[in-house]
Structure 1
């Protein structure tokens, strides 16, 4: 594959990158390229030797290859495959096994000869692994090497399971997994404790011998590591940077994964721009942050020396630009998230009328409401708006087994103390204990155990909403069915979820809807819950007049805030309101201290939430605006 002719726009990129509008179009392109290799080799009477990857990234590629096989006659009879890696130890029949993964998503649906399928054996004795790895390398060499190696990329920058510190000439071997890699895999294993600490992986040297290498990445979740891999210095700390030395590599990305690359993130540094309002706002805020200066102190030299001379020339003088952007930011700040009654709302983020609005906060998990927008939630209730909250899923997977047992033990003791027959509870308790003692990683809970965990989260959510100031009639625990269905199959219908959400919206008929806007993980619960809500509103908009007056505000979770230039409403919190928000979060006792799925951030949820909102306040202050204790940010979504 020839190297990309680097234009000025891509001058920061050290290897070829092609960007597609979305994951599906990118995946279809990669699948076509794989199919072309298979067909070309077949026409030559040769075998196509493919290096294949696992994980969420290649699934849509494999889906398209299956379609090509079933609908267009693509044959895999001449294909020999070598998989990149496998957890160790790992039984080949385990749900988390990459052998199970490959047969589920590809091999069981095409006509490949099972004898031509090669996957590292995670069931070996450790003493036998070294010899297996040598044999794996020799087998690849005996077939003449890989025609194509397909890769994903982990957030540590690993390719295969070549973690930071891997050597560029490394071969197939047993490796230790990075803690971040294990955290990212936690959901597949029912928690991080169940994730193996080792894996067998092809080495970077093995990958480099492939005649063609395609690395794929989807969604903004991968944007940061993609930028480092594409634009950063070659370093053992980020193994994917070694690919900069290959003449046969290409990165295939969707717009989310590419979003942090210079040509998309700060395009004024590499080309002339069409300066619309949003880009001007982004550039001026970036310049102020880069120079650590208030917006109103930025000078013409600052613009000229940082790639923004075109903006200064076309839209200047720069002080006028500064004043305009400063005012735009100032107008995002409001202590009246439901709108300020009897006030001029022409420069405010929300409408003044109606003075008392019907609002509903949609919370994907039972604690997202108070963690992500607890201060605004409290403010809406205090200011007399008709506020509802809808907890979209049960959140039952995020409760520890021993917490569930403890609650049933309490119920048994309570029954006995009140002279109530507790035998049925004791039977349930014994079933739960027996199941938990033999429970496998990520195994679906017994229905009774699942229900107890859901009730724990429900009770905590109700306590939190009552603390905010809602009565029980305004608290809705939806328990959308997709959440439990997806534990059994990734292919589920969301129609029941949509219908249930439409009914609730029709019941409330809100003027304001608040929803989680964390879309980095396209398969995550937050994104799924938003898609259900969005589809519900779109359908209702066709027949319901009230939807025309309904505004949808997005909030972010505990980890990351919206970029400053994106924020359209920012609600300042006093120290007392920060304290009240913290106490509301504390009602979710099962999520305090050490949650089941903590991610890669060791801070408790309430600490993450407070740090995030105080950082937003600090940024506004740094840009020259008023200094507040904390600020919660929102973006309006126009549907």
Structure 2
């Protein structure tokens, strides 16, 4: 494996996370078979979390369809929260049973899990026994790892010693915040955990680390290209003789060979690479694009670009004109009376007004992510529909549900209304929520109440943007209806619901969330449903006149070199967008699942839009209060289906 310049750990980059997962599973399967042929046990260290799920799915498939036996496999799991009962939703024990152990032929006595349910005074001895069990098994042949945004391997916090062994540790705030979505709030996350030590992990003969998604890009680049230090435990892998990191394109995007490949040698200068290089040069020098000189290019390692594409003036002008062409105040195209000589090519400007559908994964993503553009589209006379893909009910605080239930009860009493079953429902909600345990799944009536709270907020937010009530669609896609952070796989029912709506509306524009870094993966799943539906509709007569645009929201933003449509917002539109976001009162002040950013969603959205506008301004384009950016789907790439 070639080690790229500046990369201190070998990395393989795959188009899709699923491809990387299959590769990891195949390596594990090959090792299991090799050891079996040798009459030896295969000792594997396993990890929980979202990253390895598809690895385990593929291993199960290999067992069921290709006769891969786990009879010779001995497993050791990395970590476990403490305290934690083995049957709780968040336990590693339950995760491993649900995803792997219950579906293969591994003997129970060959499974080793750290016990989060034992008395605290027994933890130290338990960890010593765990270490001894690894030694008795002959050491780890392969250790599978994930990584969090602080660079943890296992649950070894920053500052963990390189030689540390299996032990109890105190979790830092970053770890607890990252785990908050699994526990229905950071306050429910245990403060301690049991984890293999860094030294234990590094003794594995082979290490494979998985990292997927844009949210991992920064820590991956620090791990691979930074210096080894205890503040980022994953950097200790640089000293391992046989470590490998498997990445999807999003997680690899912060590596120099992806972000700035011209710094490492010759590159193919396609249009996007040229834009990226020129924008990088402009921002690095603090000069507007049209002010860059040949000297600037030469002094910053871009001599090859000049040699291949002419003078700085010509290159500058080409990139500047592209960026300028992305800016439009008419995201749905212009009516005939508004067209002017010199207008940039629009999106089907021959069709006006358009039928437009905006898909919102959660009930607030429409206004958070593209509220300004939504306002603009409605105000300019288009037929705009908003489709809320999921109920978002898990993101409502219990006290809000109780407050609404009490309101309904008091309302009925005040006006002498007696709906059948109201008293029974009120008693159930009160008893359930007041006695609910941390991490417990809500009952169906409570889930329904929370879903109705978010539905009412969505209506008010959309109304603020001018969307008509009969153009709001609540899809309640089945994959989401588990009551848990963990959702079901996409089914034909999800696609059928979405496809039927598309065929009913026959939209000219489809807006979908291309922001794939939300904590639970709901955005990614929702986007996959939309694109699968579009592919099934691609032979419909209406589809040839349709364009799919990806927006981004509270978690990520498109970079200027990626943006294909930039919609500028006036200060008044920024204010209208803020008011629409405020209608989502259950997410205001303190969201149940805020992710790693402590700011409120409206603050994130405004800062993101203002930063995009600032970057356009610094590049030498017009100065706006805010900009919402979009990328057009090419019909092939963008998300694994």
> Which residue of the partner structure matches residue 589 of structure 1?
585
SS at 1:393's partner residue?
Answer: coil
- Tell me the equivalent position of 1:305: 299
When residues 459 and 345 of structure 1 are mapped into structure 2, their CA distance, relative to the original with a 3 A threshold, is: farther
2:214 to 214, 220, 234: 220
SS in structure 2 opposite 1:572?
Answer: strand
The structure 1 residue matched to 2:184, chosen from 176, 186, 190, is: 190
SS in 2 for 1:32: helix
CA deviation vs aligned residue, 1:93-138 (integer Å, no higher than 9, x gap) = 2121111122222222222221221111101211211121122222
1:522–1:576 Cα change, 3 Å: closer
Q: Is the 8 A contact 1:147 1:211 kept in 2?
A: yes
The answer (yes or no) to whether the contact 2:480–2:488 under 8 Å persists in 1 is no
Deviation for aligned residue 1:268: 0.9
Trace 1:262-341 onto structure 2 (pairs within 5 A): 262-341=256-335
Match of 1:200 in 2: 194
Query: Are residues 1:347 and 2:347 paired?
Result: no
Q: Does 1:476 align with 2:476?
A: no
SS of the residue corresponding to residue 585 of structure 1 reads helix
1: CA distance, partners of 2:168 / 2:236: 20
1:60–1:472: structure 2 CA closer, same or farther, 3 Å change rule?
closer
How far is 1:489 from its partner?
Answer: 7.2
Q: 1:111 aligns with which of 105, 109, 119?
A: 105
Aligned equivalent of 1:545, options 523, 541, 545: 541
2:621 matches 1:622: no
| Aligned match of 1:444 | 441
Deviation, 1:437, is: 2.7
5+ residue gaps in structure 2?
A: 636-641
CA distance in 2: counterparts of 1:312 and 1:35, whole angstroms: 49
Residue 377 (1) aligns with residue 374 (2): yes
Name the residue aligned to 2:127: 133
Change (3 A) 1:345 1:521: farther
Partner of 1:72: 66
CA distance in 1, matches of 2:487, 2:417: 42
**What residue in structure 1 maps to residue 413 of structure 2?**
416
Secondary structure in 1 aligned to 2:608?
Answer: helix
Aligned to 2:30: 36
Q: Which residue of 1 aligns with 2:638?
A: none
- Cα distance in structure 1, aligned partners of 2:521 and 2:621: 35
In 2: Cα distance, 1:500 partner to 1:65 partner:
31
TM-superposed deviation, 1:521: 6.0
Q: Could you tell me how far apart the structure 2 residues matched to 1:139 and 1:506 are?
A: 59
1:507–1:106 Cα change, 3 Å: closer
Q: 1:501 to 1:22 in 2, by over 3 A?
A: closer
Equivalent position of 2:234 in the other structure: 240
Residues 525, 117 of structure 1: CA spacing in aligned structure 2 closer, same or farther, 3 A cutoff? same
SS in 1 for 2:512: strand
Q: Hey, what does 2:458 align to over in structure 1?
A: 461
| Residues 75-94 of structure 1: pairs in structure 2 closer than 5 A | 75-94=69-88
CA 1:282–1:349: 2 relative to 1, 3 Å? farther
Question: In the alignment, is the contact (CA less than 8 A) between 1:486 and 1:492 conserved in 2?
Answer: no
Are residues 1:148 and 2:145 paired? no
Give the superposition deviation at 1:422. 5.5
The CA distance in 2 between the partners of 1:493 and 1:633, in whole Å, is: 28
Q: Distance in 1 between matches of 2:418 and 2:518?
A: 47
What is the aligned partner in structure 2 of residue 528 from structure 1?
525
- Matching of residue 600 in structure 1 with residue 591 in structure 2: no
TM-score (norm 1): 0.95
Residue aligned with 2:80, SS: strand
- The answer to whether 1:23 aligns with 2:23 is no
Unaligned runs of 5+ in 1: none
User: What corresponds to 1:560 in structure 2?
Assistant: 556
- Deviation by residue 1:475-527 (Cα, 9 ceiling, x = unmatched): 22222222104749744453222222222222222212211111346972112
Q: 1:488 to 1:153 in 2, by over 3 A?
A: closer
Tell me the SS of whatever aligns to 1:561: coil
Separation of aligned partners in 1, 2:486 and 2:609: 37
